[in-house]
Structure 1
Amino acid sequence: MEESVRRSLGRSFGPTAADYERSRPDYPAAAADWLLAGLDDSPRRRAGWPATVVELAAGTGKFTRSLVAAGHDVIAVEPAQPMLDRLVRAVPEALAVRGVAERIPLAGSSTDAVLVAQAFHWFDTEPSLAEIARVLRPGGMFGLVWNYRDESVPWVRQLSRLLGTDRSQTRHAEELIEKLEWSRLFTPPKRTTFRMWQRLDRQGLVRLVASRSYVSTMSPADREELLFNVGQLFDVTARQPDGLLLPYTTICYRAGVRKW
């Protein structure tokens, strides 16, 4: 994806903040536990200090909730003010800061963990990795998490055909992990997966699609046609009044920072 296109799509989330908050799935609690495994053994935690966890591109706080619930001091960094406003209302326990991954507004060696949920592919990879390494303390860790639709389910596969499949994004994520390894700023990443399901009614499925960056930047006519077709897919697939269960595979990576 060209840099100008990536940045344009990344900025498109602000106007869709309401749909994003109402329709995007949460994350398995086990994902946050796995990503932050080992922090309890850090010197600061053993000394009785809470871990400081930074979440980049925190959006409306979908993943922030899990981090706060785990008992950490959370700094949520988000560039889009409409998303940040919703995060403040949803997760007031987190410290909300406006900023970007390429210029993290924190001092060097000031945090125990940096996490990114469903957003690392929007970053300018090399400068953001350098910034993440800069703000991490010795022994700190970097974690990534993505939710991917399970396209082994026929109706989900049909939804992906309407949208354009996420398989290219899956490949993109794998390429980003390779860049993380090549940077030599972090230890070789570990990987795990979890399963989760999201129950959706008709409006919820349409809002989920509408919240996607490339959908929000379509022409009004193309967007209306796509959302109509998504509604039709729900009508012929769902067993009313139960709606649909959208299955996901949640993929997590974690790596330790190297401090020379």
Structure 2
Amino acid sequence: MEPDARQLHALSFGTAAVEYAEHHPDYAPAAVRWALESAPGPRVLDLGAGTGKLTGTLVALGAEVIAVEPDPAMLAQLRNALPTVHALAGSAEVIPLPDGSVDAVLAGNALHWFDMGVAGPEIARVLAPGGILAGLWNVMDNRVDWVAGLEQISGTAAVGPRDTFSSWRAATAGLHLPSTGVRARFGSPEQDEFSHGQRRTADSLVATIATRAGMLVMPEPEREATLSRIRAFLASRPETISDEFTLPMLTGVLRTRQL
């Protein structure tokens, strides 16, 4: 994605901050534990924290969390949901923290929006020696037949390569390390995924998909046509016509350690 397009997509979420907070899933606790398992201490920066979906999981696991988010509307939702968390305005490119102040930097469905040429040195700066950098993505399990069908009819703006089990590893492998010059400070990346799921109705699944960046920047007629297609598909499947069902998911993790 070109830098201007990436910026447009990254800044789109604030227009749907309330809906994002309501409908987006949290992260599998096992995935977060794995991301942090070799961190040198409990201080964690949730970078690009959005409305606090990953922040809440970190808090529940007992981490000492600082959240940093650039979008004022998303940050307001985070502060409302998690008033005891130290939440700051800032970005991956300008992190408002001192040198060596955190033991891990985690990013939930956000690492791909960072300009790692700038963000990489910033992340390295705020990490303590031996600190962890990890990106997490919630992905739909398209090994399940109806989920594969949903992916096919939705289009890549609604369900992209980072959004499904079959392609998230390849789509994120190159996103996670800082650029040349800082890269040597980090070890080889590791990837793994962990079972997850979200209770949904057809309406709430449509609402979730509607808050994805590709949908938010889409022209309104095209957006409505896409959402109508998705509604019709969900109404046609026995797995999704009941009042509530589980969307099969996984939380994928990429992690590396600062050397």
Q: TM-score, normalised by structure 1?
A: 0.89
| Structure with more of its chain in helix, by fraction | 1
Question: What are the superposed Cα offsets for residues 144-188 of structure 1, whole Å, 9 maximum, x if unpaired?
Answer: 111111112222122212232522673331222466698112111
Code of the residue aligned with 1:59 in structure 2: it is G
Code of the residue aligned with 2:155 in structure 1: it is L
User: How far did 1:245 drift?
Assistant: 2.1
Correspondence 1:167 to 2:161: yes
Q: Which residue of 2 aligns with 1:246?
A: 247
Q: Which residue of 2 aligns with 1:215?
A: 215
Code of the residue aligned with 2:161 in structure 1: it is R
Q: Which residue of 1 aligns with 2:128?
A: 137
Distance 1:239 1:124, change over 3 A: closer
Find the aligned partners of 1:146 and 1:97 in 2 and give their Cα distance. 22
Code of the residue aligned with 1:28 in structure 2: it is A
Stretches of structure 1 lacking an aligned partner (at least 5 in a row) = 46-50
User: How far did 1:239 drift?
Assistant: 5.0
Q: Which residue of 1 aligns with 2:138?
A: 147
Question: What are the superposed Cα offsets for residues 83-135 of structure 1, whole Å, 9 maximum, x if unpaired?
Answer: 11110111122111111101111111111111111111111122111110000
Q: Secondary structure at the match of 2:121?
A: helix
User: How far did 1:75 drift?
Assistant: 0.7
Find the aligned partners of 1:152 and 1:138 in 2 and give their Cα distance. 39
Distance 1:116 1:168, change over 3 A: closer
Q: Which residue of 2 aligns with 1:48?
A: none
Correspondence 1:109 to 2:103: no
Code of the residue aligned with 2:252 in structure 1: it is I
Q: Secondary structure at the match of 2:79?
A: helix
Distance 1:24 1:163, change over 3 A: farther
Find the aligned partners of 2:28 and 2:69 in 1 and give their Cα distance. 21
Q: Which residue of 2 aligns with 1:257?
A: 258
Q: Secondary structure at the match of 1:175?
A: coil
Code of the residue aligned with 1:230 in structure 2: it is I
Q: Secondary structure at the match of 2:87?
A: strand
Taking only the aligned residue pairs, the percentage that are identical comes to: 36
User: How far did 1:207 drift?
Assistant: 0.6
